[in-house]
Amino acid sequence: MKRVYFLLAFSTLGMSTYGQKTIDQKVAELLAKMTLEEKVGQMVQYSGFEYATGPQQSNSAAVLEEIKKGKVGSMLNVAGSEETRAFQKLAMQSRLKIPLLFGQDVIHGYRTTFPVNLGQAASWDLGMIEKSERIAATEAAAYGIHWTFAPMVDIARDPRWGRVMEGSGEDTYLGTKIGLARIKGFQGRGLGSLDAVMACAKHFAAYGAAVGGRDYNSVDMSLRQLNETYLPPFKAAAEAGVATFMNSFNDINGIPATANQYIQRDLLKGKWNYKGFVVSDWGSIGEMIPHGYARDANEAAEKAIQGGSDMDMESRVYMAQLPKLVKEGKVDAKLVDDATGRILTRKFEMGLFDDPYRFSNEKRQKEQTDNRENRKFGREFGSKSIVLLKNQGNILPLSKTVKTVALIGPFAKETVANHGFWSIAFKDDNQRIVSQFDGIKNQLDKNSTLMYAKGCNVDDQDKSQFSEAVETAKKADVVIMTLGEGHAMSGEAKSRSNIGFTGVQEDLLKEIAKTGKPIILMVNAGRPLIFNWASDNIPAIMYTWWLGTEAGNSIADVLFGTVNPGGKLPMSFPRTEGQIPVYYNHFNTGRPAKNNTDRNYVSAYIDLDNDPKYPFGYGLSYTDFKYSDMILSSVNLTGNQTLNISVTVSNTGKYDGEEVVQLYIRDLFGKVVRPVKELKGFQKIFIKKGESKKVDFKLTPEELKFFDEDLNFDWESGEFDIMIGTHSQNVQTKRINWVK
């Protein structure tokens, strides 16, 4: 018995039972055999040739030759069991037969796509978010993919930035929790499982704070702000064992992230003791030349490797420059060994040295092509991501027997648009994605009539289709308008200076409103949009983001009340672009506005109300929730006590439903100023109509900690407001005193 136990213990210590060598030993042995060029080869990643996710400079023949020579460590944008097998065969022709890693942007689903990530965040459902990544990983791994460039954990407070659609919004606590759920979903039972992929925390770091919301623009902030708001999701990802990091295009306080020793060496590989590897973003090493931080490719390579970038995605600088830099003694060979070692470690963990083709499996791929269970989950996840912004006169939910419905707008019959921006295109997409029109038609009673008019295009000044749309609306009992921004108008390099409905969509809406028909507006977007006229004049508004493969069904489920919407906004919605940035966890200033319209010598705009159009955490339901009996275990605490908080939530309406109960705190006085609110907990609960639930939270001093001006992370004695509510502007407050 003892011997068996010993072997089991041995194997659980990460020792391989094969050859009794640890991965570290195998890596060391392999490194000892490798030439300098072969080591640098592992630090090189090229994109496949079918499509590029960056400014491609590929010369496919040369790349194939490089692979055969063992001078390529990874390919991205190569997927499919057949395609990956073909590339892997080339790598097996190299001297040491080191397998390739295949990476892909599996951002919100793979074959089955899910809501864009900001929409997913609106579900506040960590379990569904994790499950969606579990499904995405299973499907992607079945297509031969080893590594996804996700989760994107960039906190973002500026909706002009198109990549807010890929993240979890403005709040660090919510963004951290969601990032961890995604990593757990992607990596599942652990690297090496055939249904797990390596995750990648990106974009390291503070990419979401680009000045003006302009993609790739500079980031400049105090290290205190950087550590308090933007780095926590990355630190949590590193601690959770995320397999890789990807750095960001932007400079941070004057130094491009790609060469930024503070974040990549001092923090990530130093203080956080991170053992995975960092891949550059597409071309970002070479882009240090236009940044003005490197005179040429040689200097860019030197600064990038010194700065902690292990793999060069598509800038082609490392292969060209690093061997020379090491031979000239300008770069320590140990840095190359360290980077290569980190990359090889992941390849061993993925089991690729045991079998380079283990993920390239036709049978598994077939099983994961349009898996019905995955689509069913996608439909549910889509419904849970919808945010009900307005429902005046309870016009929603609609009855399925409503006589005549008119669906009007440029997105009504769209299919691929529902995929959102970061989805992998498949040839059969048009057939397999449920349009909004089809989703509604699927559920309307057979004696009802669904009419359609496009009304206008997404983004031009053509009003020639208005009259047809108005005539269609006049014949209907209820009109559903589907408007917003094009699905490819948010995403990478999609910053917008005007974030209203594009083209003449709002003019169309106003024309339809003149008919006097009841209107339900669905807003399709990957970011917060500005639509004040609609908000003030249309009785029912749902934010439907882009919901993925089952979009039409998800939307219909909410429209007809099969699902009672429970989504909550993960970002504040500004009234105008001039109000940006507007976010809930701001500082109070010395002259805070007393209310939404106070402009008398206070921090406000003289021409605009102070609050956002829709606040962080906001979302309605078809039912009503009442909060009562907020109870604290104490109002005077000392030291490491735990504060127990409870509240009773009652469903006083006509429908069963889900509510996201939010817990905020405010540290009233600090050695640095503190936000007026900080999210420190949330619970998504289901309550049947007429029933109540007691919801409990716990707070400890850990949740009170913050970074001071010397970057000490600690808490202070003092008064705190404890707030619980249905959104950031609708809370009950109790004050406590906590002495250290």
Q: What residues act catalytically?
A: 281
The Cα–Cα gap between 43 and 46 comes to: 10
Residue 594, CB half-sphere, CA atoms under 13 Å: how many? Answer: 4
Per CB under 6 A, 282 contacts ligand GLC: yes
Q: Tell me the closest approach of the beta carbon of residue 150 to ligand GLC, in angstroms.
A: 8
Angle subtended at Cα 241 by Cα 235 and Cα 246, rounded to the nearest 5 degrees: 65
Residue (247 or 549) nearer to ligand GLC, CB: 247
Under 8 Å between Cβ of 617 and 684: no
Kindly determine how many residues on this chain lie close enough to bind ligand GLC according to the rule CB under 6 A: 9
Residue (76 or 478) nearer to ligand GLC, CB: 76
Residue (149 or 573) nearer to ligand GLC, CB: 149
Which residues, 6 or more positions from 263, have their beta carbon under 8 angstroms from its beta carbon? Answer: 204, 205, 231, 252, 257
The Cα–Cα gap between 96 and 654 comes to: 68
Q: Tell me the closest approach of the beta carbon of residue 162 to ligand GLC, in angstroms.
A: 11
481 forms beta bridges with 408, 521
Residue (202 or 291) nearer to ligand GLC, CB: 202
Residue (282 or 359) nearer to ligand GLC, CB: 282
Residue (278 or 331) nearer to ligand GLC, CB: 278
Q: Cα dihedral sign for 110, 113, 117, 120?
A: negative
Q: Where are the beta strands (DSSP E) in 72-193?
A: 74-76, 101-104, 147-148
Q: Tell me the closest approach of the beta carbon of residue 284 to ligand GLC, in angstroms.
A: 8
Q: Which of 110, 124, 149, 293 binds ligand GLC (CB under 6 A)?
A: 149
Q: Tell me the closest approach of the beta carbon of residue 306 to ligand GLC, in angstroms.
A: 23
Residue (229 or 284) nearer to ligand GLC, CB: 284
Q: Which of 385, 544, 418 is nearest to 487 (CA)?
A: 418
Our measurement of the distance from residue 472's CA atom to the centroid of its chain's CA atoms, rounded to an integer in Å, reads 38
Q: Which of 48, 54, 484, 619 binds ligand GLC (CB under 6 A)?
A: 54
Residue (281 or 312) nearer to ligand GLC, CB: 281
End-to-end CA distance of the chain: 52
Q: Which of 27, 44, 76, 645 binds ligand GLC (CB under 6 A)?
A: 76
Angle subtended at Cα 434 by Cα 450 and Cα 523, rounded to the nearest 5 degrees: 75
Which residues, 6 or more positions from 673, have their beta carbon under 8 angstroms from its beta carbon? Answer: 587, 588
Q: Which of 281, 287, 310, 716 binds ligand GLC (CB under 6 A)?
A: 281
Under 8 Å between Cβ of 192 and 252: no
The Cα–Cα gap between 373 and 382 comes to: 14
* Beta-strand pair 718-727/730-739: antiparallel
Q: Tell me the closest approach of the beta carbon of residue 52 to ligand GLC, in angstroms.
A: 8
Per CB under 6 A, 105 contacts ligand GLC: yes
The string over 504-525, giving b where at least 16 C-beta atoms fall within 10 Å of a residue's C-beta and e elsewhere, is bbbebbebbbebebbbbbbbbb
Per CB under 6 A, 201 contacts ligand GLC: no
Q: Tell me the closest approach of the beta carbon of residue 266 to ligand GLC, in angstroms.
A: 24
Q: Tell me the closest approach of the beta carbon of residue 76 to ligand GLC, in angstroms.
A: 6
Q: Alpha helices, DSSP H only, in 75-154?
A: 81-91, 117-121, 126-142
Per CB under 6 A, 162 contacts ligand GLC: no
Per CB under 6 A, 53 contacts ligand GLC: yes
Q: Tell me the closest approach of the beta carbon of residue 149 to ligand GLC, in angstroms.
A: 3
Contacting ligand GLC within 480-519 (CB under 6 A): 492
Q: Tell me the closest approach of the beta carbon of residue 204 to ligand GLC, in angstroms.
A: 11
Per CB under 6 A, 161 contacts ligand GLC: no
* Beta-strand pair 101-104/74-76: parallel
Residue (149 or 543) nearer to ligand GLC, CB: 149
Annotate 308-376 with three-state secondary structure: CCCEEECCCCHHHHHHHHHHCCCCCHHHHHHHHHHHHHHHHHCCCCCCCCCCCCHHHHHHCCCCHHHHH
The Cα–Cα gap between 52 and 104 comes to: 11
Q: Tell me the closest approach of the beta carbon of residue 380 to ligand GLC, in angstroms.
A: 27
* Beta-strand pair 643-651/678-687: unpaired
Residue (390 or 527) nearer to ligand GLC, CB: 527
The Cα–Cα gap between 362 and 358 comes to: 11
Residue 551 is classified by DSSP as: H
Per CB under 6 A, 110 contacts ligand GLC: no
What residues line the site for ligand GLC (CB under 6 A)? 53-54, 76, 105, 149, 202, 281-282, 492
